[in-house]
């Protein structure tokens, strides 16, 4: 059969799109969801086994549906976790909320469209009868649809050094995907750990280590040694920002934002004022300025924009003060094997080489922004000319309606939801933005059915 809509992926973007489609499509319509995620609907972010891993967006902004903003807070209350809209819930609970929201929509069997969940990995594409696009699955089957939504996430960044010279035993102590938390059980309490990358993933992993009874030392190495900043419990109101009045050159723009931060008394006010306008600001920037932003301002943007819950930050600060964790800034050059692993790096701003000895190396360098590199399916789709890589390495080219431009006017239209569309929208990593995009894409598909 040919489905009206085929969703590829099974994380938040996919489930948000499905929920909206179930609400919008007629009973006669059909949807297939292809996903290889063991916790269908949770993706990397919300399938954590640790209750202490918290959301980095307040509960009041995490509803699946933009037009029902209290839905997640209501769910928390109904499940005896009475948090306020400004509190930071557990990511595990958020995973359960997504599952429950989808289940509630699917229960209504009589008046909803057909939804088939297919647990498989999509490996390639083939054009089918009537212009539909078919996806080849790793279980040997094929699923075809007239509207396609790619919700593949962006994958983990790979380590920037060659590890092929390390023995198998040493390689087993390099954790390339920290989200498989089973590695924590192999660490001895007094071991030493070097975490590469100093963003939100690093904080999550450090918390998880110490929660497992770890008493050794953690050394964090990242290019600039910048760590995420904290939310505050009672934020001041966001500042009003007129994006049209902001300068187009990156250096002048950053100067204005710094000046306004000082004027506003708390830089969070300017970041919160910018947040709903960032997509418009990005749209107005010429390519050269976007490149400049990515080259020079990205680490600063990340630590101010992607903040941690206040009490998580306090716990992390305590570990820094006690010396359990130390942070160094430098460029990793090489990883060598001796009694332990030795990481050679060039400290930031110096020509000399320094080193860190550690029993374990953990890759927390974050998301792979060049989305096409991490996905065999996307590489194959590009080879077939179905999609185009974003020139800044930010995923795939889509238009302002999240459509692959090449598919417009064809019998099958391909949409993309989530961080793979960062080249068009930039601010499209977190739930408040993805849920809007999912709604818009579902509406566009409903118009075609």
Ligand X SMILES: Cc1cc2nc3c(=O)[nH]c(=O)nc-3n(C[C@H](O)[C@H](O)[C@H](O)COP(=O)(O)OP(=O)(O)OC[C@H]3O[C@@H](n4cnc5c(N)ncnc54)[C@H](O)[C@@H]3O)c2cc1C
Give the binding site for ligand X (CB under 6 A). 8-14, 34-37, 43-45, 55-57, 121-122, 151-153, 201, 375, 377, 418-419, 429-431
The answer to whether 338 touches 356, Cβ cutoff 8 Å, is no
Torsion of CA 311, 317, 318, 322, to 10 degrees: 170
When the beta carbons of 122 and 361 are compared against ligand X, the nearer one is 122
Least CB distance from residue 89 to ligand X, whole Å? 9
When the beta carbons of 90 and 340 are compared against ligand X, the nearer one is 90
When the beta carbons of 359 and 429 are compared against ligand X, the nearer one is 429
When the beta carbons of 291 and 315 are compared against ligand X, the nearer one is 315
Least CB distance from residue 239 to ligand X, whole Å? 22
The answer to whether 91 touches 46, Cβ cutoff 8 Å, is yes
| Helices marked H in 11-139 | 12-24, 43-46, 71-78, 91-107
256/250 Cα distance (integer angstroms): 10
How does DSSP classify residue 72? H
Least CB distance from residue 90 to ligand X, whole Å? 10
When the beta carbons of 117 and 331 are compared against ligand X, the nearer one is 117
When the beta carbons of 150 and 239 are compared against ligand X, the nearer one is 150
203/180 Cα distance (integer angstroms): 16
Which residue reads 């818009």 in tokens?
Answer: 440
The answer to whether 30 touches 116, Cβ cutoff 8 Å, is yes
Least CB distance from residue 355 to ligand X, whole Å? 29
When the beta carbons of 273 and 395 are compared against ligand X, the nearer one is 395
- Angle, helix 298-305 to helix 267-274, in steps of 10 degrees: 100
Least CB distance from residue 109 to ligand X, whole Å? 25
Burial class for 413, CB neighbours closer than 10 Å (0-12, 13-18, 19+)? buried
When the beta carbons of 302 and 429 are compared against ligand X, the nearer one is 429
Least CB distance from residue 398 to ligand X, whole Å? 14
| Helices marked H in 172-294 | 200-211, 250-264, 267-274, 278-284, 287-292
Residue (of 302, 309, 336) closest to 194 by Cα position: 336
Least CB distance from residue 50 to ligand X, whole Å? 11
Least CB distance from residue 169 to ligand X, whole Å? 29
* Distances 289 to 45, 223, 247, 280, 371 between C-alpha atoms, Å: 31, 22, 11, 14, 21
402/396 Cα distance (integer angstroms): 10
Least CB distance from residue 16 to ligand X, whole Å? 8
Which residue reads 């989808």 in tokens?
Answer: 102
Beta strand segments in 105-192, E: 114-119, 122-127, 133-137, 142-150, 174-175
How does DSSP classify residue 401? T
Least CB distance from residue 252 to ligand X, whole Å? 30
When the beta carbons of 313 and 345 are compared against ligand X, the nearer one is 313
When the beta carbons of 47 and 224 are compared against ligand X, the nearer one is 47
When the beta carbons of 98 and 445 are compared against ligand X, the nearer one is 98
Least CB distance from residue 57 to ligand X, whole Å? 4
* Distances 351 to 335, 345, 347, 348, 354 between C-alpha atoms, Å: 18, 10, 8, 8, 10
When the beta carbons of 29 and 55 are compared against ligand X, the nearer one is 55
292/311 Cα distance (integer angstroms): 34
Torsion of CA 67, 68, 70, 71, to 10 degrees: -140
422/66 Cα distance (integer angstroms): 20
Least CB distance from residue 313 to ligand X, whole Å? 14
Rg (CA), the chain: 23
């Amino acid at each position: 059969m040919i489905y009206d809509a085929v969703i590829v992926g099974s994380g938040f973007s996919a489930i948000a799109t499905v929920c909206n489609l179930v609400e919008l499509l007629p009973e006669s319509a059909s949807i297939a969801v292809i996903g290889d995620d063991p916790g269908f609907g949770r993706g990397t972010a919300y399938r954590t086994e640790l209750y202490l891993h918290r959301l980095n967006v307040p509960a009041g902004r995490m509803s699946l549906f933009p037009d029902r903003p209290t839905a997640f807070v209501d769910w928390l209350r109904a499940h005896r976790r009475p948090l306020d809209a400004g509190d930071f819930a557990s990511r595990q609970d958020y995973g359960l909320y997504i599952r429950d929201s989808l289940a509630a929509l699917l229960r209504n069997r009589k008046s909803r469209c057909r939804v088939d969940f297919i647990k498989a990995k999509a490996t390639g594409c083939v054009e089918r009868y009537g212009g539909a696009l078919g996806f080849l699955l790793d279980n040997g089957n094929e699923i075809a649809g007239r509207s396609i939504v790619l919700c593949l996430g962006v994958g983990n960044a790979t380590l920037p050094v060659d590890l092929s010279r390390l023995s198998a035993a040493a390689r087993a102590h390099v954790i390339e995907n920290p989200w498989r938390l089973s590695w924590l059980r192999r660490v001895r309490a007094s071991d030493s750990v070097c975490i590469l990358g100093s963003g939100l993933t690093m904080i999550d992993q450090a918390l998880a280590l110490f929660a497992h009874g770890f008493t050794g030392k953690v050394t964090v190495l990242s290019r600039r040694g910048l760590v995420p900043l904290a939310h505050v419990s009672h934020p001041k109101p966001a500042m009003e920002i007129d994006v049209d009045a902001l300068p187009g050159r990156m250096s002048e723009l950053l100067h204005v934002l710094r000046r306004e931060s000082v004027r506003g008394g708390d830089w969070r006010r300017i970041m919160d004022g910018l947040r709903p306008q960032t997509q418009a600001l990005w749209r107005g920037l010429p390519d050269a300025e976007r490149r400049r932003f990515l080259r020079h301002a990205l680490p600063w943007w990340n630590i101010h924009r992607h903040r941690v819950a206040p009490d998580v930050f306090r716990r992390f600060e305590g570990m820094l003060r006690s010396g359990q964790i130390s942070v160094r800034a430098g460029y990793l050059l090489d990883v060598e094997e001796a009694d332990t692993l030795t990481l050679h790096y060039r400290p930031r701003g110096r020509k000399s080489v320094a080193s860190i000895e550690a029993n374990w190396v953990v890759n927390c360098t974050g998301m792979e922004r060049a989305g096409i590199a991490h996905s065999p399916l996307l590489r194959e789709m590009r080879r077939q000319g179905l999609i185009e890589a974003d020139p800044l390495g930010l995923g795939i080219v889509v238009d302002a309606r999240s459509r692959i431009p090449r598919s417009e006017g064809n019998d099958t239209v391909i949409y993309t939801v989530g961080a793979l569309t960062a080249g068009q929208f930039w601010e499209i990593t977190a739930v408040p933005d993805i849920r809007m995009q999912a709604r818009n894409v579902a509406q566009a598909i409903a118009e075609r059915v």
